[in-house]
Amino acid sequence: MDALIKSLRPNQSPEAKSSEGKLLEAKRSDSKTAAARMPDSRPAELDPSEFLAAAVRADQPRPSRAEAEQAVQTLLHYIGENPDREGLLDTPRRVVESFDELYQGYHQSPAEVLDRTFGETAGYDDFVLVRDIEFTSQCEHHMMPFYGKAHIAYTPVERVVGLSKLARLTDIFARRLQTQEHLTAQIAAAIDEILKPRGVAVMIEAEHTCMSVRGVAKLGAMTFTSRFTGMFRDNPAEQARFLSMLRGPQR
């Protein structure tokens, strides 16, 4: 039995078809113009001033410690607590001291950490990978912790940097208010700018408490981010080799 298929459009006069054709052509033209105006889709490069020096200058005006402790007292009042009860009497001081530790990365210079290199490499020309660098950072949206592991590889040109420096670099950027995407980009950009290697690969895997203990409350959900430069960006085989080494057996 033949099926009867009806058009969803009513019959149109030649004038209406001509008008519709002109409208479609105008829309295509507008679309092409908008596409031409769109910015370059390549990743934006970070400003070196963002990651080469300490984020806080010694002469930068800052609130006093007393003012910071008073701000903590205000927050305690806000949640309905009594800052004068015994268990909270020393809490403002402790919170400010913990901030000094958690956010010490603002006062450290990534360039100084990567400044010392070594030339005795016996002609080594493959990439160097340090994986499973544990870190803890603070989400800039909720000021709640996110934590996990960073995996960093770079292909040196004649000189290498001490392996512990890559872990220290990770901590400097992690001990600032962050997003995981920005943290990943900063680590890669700093190594690329300061060491001038043939390529850099950075992958970070982390759990964010701002989505595991609040909001959607999905405990155990992991976020993965990556950034590749140079040979890792341009050579899929090198990317694949980097990723395969991350999946290797734990020791």
pTM attached to this predicted model: 0.79
**Which class for 209: exposed (0-12), middle (13-18), buried (19 or more C-beta within 10 A)?**
middle
pLDDT for the residue 213: 92
Q: Where are the alpha helices (DSSP H) in the chain?
A: 14-37, 65-78, 91-102, 110-113, 163-174, 180-195, 209-212, 230-234, 236-246
Residue 16 pLDDT greater than 70, yes or no: no
Residue 35 pLDDT greater than 70, yes or no: no
pLDDT tens, position by position, 85-135: 999 999 999 999 999 999 999 999 999 999 999 998 888 989 999 999 999
What kind of fold does domain 108-246 have according to CATH?
Answer: GTP Cyclohydrolase I, domain 2 (3.30.1130)
pLDDT for the residue 123: 86
> What is the C-alpha separation between 76 and 86, in angstroms, rounded?
13
Ranges of CATH 3.30.1130.10 domains, the chain: 108-246
Segment among 32-36, 62-66, 187-191, 225-229 with least mean pLDDT: 32-36
Q: How many CB atoms lie within 10 A of CB 176?
A: 21
User: What is the mean predicted confidence (pLDDT) over 20-38?
Assistant: 50
Q: What amino acid positions are annotated as catalytic residues?
A: 139-142, 180, 208, 210
Bridge-based pairing state of the strands 145-155 and 117-118: unpaired
pLDDT tens, position by position, 146-156: 999 999 999 99
pLDDT for the residue 39: 45
At the fourth CATH level, the homologous superfamily of domain 48-54+64-102 is: GTP cyclohydrolase I, N-terminal domain (1.10.286.10)
What percent of the residues of the chain are helix, what percent strand, and what percent coil, each to the nearest 5?
45, 20, 35
pLDDT for the residue 121: 86
